[in-house]
Chains A and B, each alone.
Chain A
């Protein structure tokens, strides 16, 4: 589904990614691990077209994303859900409105939004908090709202960049369970994280990065550095 072929990315003179080759299949669950600055976030940014590769090719469903016109990038992003450590929720909007926002800005009709948002909130287990503002929710709940928003377009791919970074163990586990559930429903998930205990627990494919290179790939991996 996603192919990186000799991808190199520079920030100024710093090499953030160094000839990365990677293949990710449909409905896989990948843990992308490594220290800060290893290139995990850069890799995710390249997938959503926020940054451009300096060398090499990135194919999503056999489409070279470098060939996608700038004005079509938003449509690529509707196929990809993204979740961040800092959640990026709008504080003045309820859980329902935060999820609805993603659908509104893409021009979906009101009826569809009214119908779909409760379903998505139910999937992340937060239907009872639909009318709550982010300030009235725990860290884990907020992250689940963010995941719900990322799912609003029924993406084929979900990118989670340190989604448990700000959460305690219980909340982190909840978020992880949710990501596994989403994966089970057929969405490819890429989880970039430092959290070794989580990675060890899920026993899925682990890709280890160091200094912009992939240094290790394990099918049922453990977090090793």
Chain B
């Protein structure tokens, strides 16, 4: 569509417009930077909360303690029946023996407990089915299904209620963050498009004579659009760079602490959105917004 000579000319013109109208360019870059920062903050907020919910979710399950003396075959039947519930991701069988070994291993330092265990002749622990849901919200329903189901006669105890309030609250917060975030992103995208659209309309208006002459002497529409598109690409690059300068320290200093706090020891920021993904995403968003604004703004001047 364009040869090298035209490409170089377009880029040069775009760059000289960008630097010559530097006040206008600064305004456009500033608005775009603010929009990108809002995008980034929302993306991070979403990522951190999503991460913390996941971290907590991983530690959440329903422990179904089976009645004492139930045959292992029977328990495995029950496990299979639980797994048929579409809400259930998995059911893990922990035999009384394994549970005891785990317990001993966990408390190997605690002599009192170990000696108390040695006092008892038989294994005091019960066989357990540990159930994980596909979705956090489904735990109450799964618990309900189990305790009212056909197998409830074989169940000694169901340990789940303790975490319910916390999980509920987290799920609610997450869904609020998502809906508020989507709304904010939409509003700020619209503002950014409007401001960029008007900035570019001003630059195009300043150069309307040039555009008119270009049309008259037979410049193609893409040649006429070119310098303006190049200019808006420069806005996008400058704004992404400015955002990156602000984001990188936050990312390297602050986030690992938050991640450590939320995820507990042994978990790092690696579960979060990697910074390059975020920056590439921001650059893509900036390019989409600015190119849409340019093409809208110049349409009026390209009437054939």
Contact = CB atoms under 8 A, between A and B. Distances in A.
Interface of A: 48-50, 70-71, 73-78, 82, 88, 90, 101-102, 104-110, 149-150, 152-153
Interface of B: 2-3, 5-6, 9, 209-210, 212-221, 223-224, 304
A109 B5 contact: yes
A105 B219 contact: yes
Contacts of B215: 74, 77
Contacts of B216: 48, 77, 82, 88
B5 A77 contact: no
Contacts of A106: 217-219, 223
5 contacts: A77-B217, A88-B212, A105-B218, A105-B224, A153-B218
Nearest to B210: A90
A168 B2 CA distance: 43
A48 B304 CA distance: 10
Given A107-B3, A107-B6, A109-B5, A74 B221 contact: yes
Which residue, B2, B216, B217, has most C-beta atoms of chain A within 10 A?
Answer: B217
Given A50-B304, A107-B6, A71 B213 contact: no
A153 B217 contact: yes
A196 B299 CA distance: 40
Contacts of A75: 218
A204 to B, nearest CB: 25
- B contacts with A: majority SS: helix
Nearest to A93: B210
User: Top 5 nearest A-B pairs by Cβ distance?
Assistant: A77-B218, A105-B219, A78-B218, A102-B217, A107-B6
A76 B215 CA distance: 11
A138 B215 CA distance: 26
Contacts of A76: 218
Contacts of A48: 216
B213 A74 contact: no
B220 A71 contact: yes
Contact of B213 (A73, A101, A107, A109): A101
Contacts of A49: 304
Nearest to A146: B213
B209 to A, nearest CB: 6
A88 B213 contact: yes
A61 to B, nearest CB: 16
Given A49-B304, A50-B304, A70-B304, A105 B209 contact: no
B133 to A, nearest CB: 57
Contacts of A152: 217
A107 to B, nearest CB: 4
A107 B217 contact: no
B213 to A, nearest CB: 6
A73 B304 contact: yes
Interface centre among A49, A106, A149, A152 (most CB of B within 10 A): A106
A75 B218 CA distance: 6
Nearest to B3: A107
Contacts of A73: 304
Contacts of B2: 107
Contacts of B214: 105
A224 to B, nearest CB: 32
Contacts of A78: 217-218
A168 B271 CA distance: 79
A4 B273 CA distance: 66
A42 B304 CA distance: 14
A101 B207 CA distance: 14
A71 B221 contact: yes
Contact of B220 (A74, A88, A109, A150): A74
Given A73-B304, A90-B209, A104 B221 contact: no
B217 A149 contact: yes
A104 B2 CA distance: 13
B304 A105 contact: no
A71 to B, nearest CB: 7
A77 B5 CA distance: 20
Contacts of A150: 217
B10 to A, nearest CB: 10
A150 to B, nearest CB: 8
Nearest to B212: A88
Contacts of B3: 107
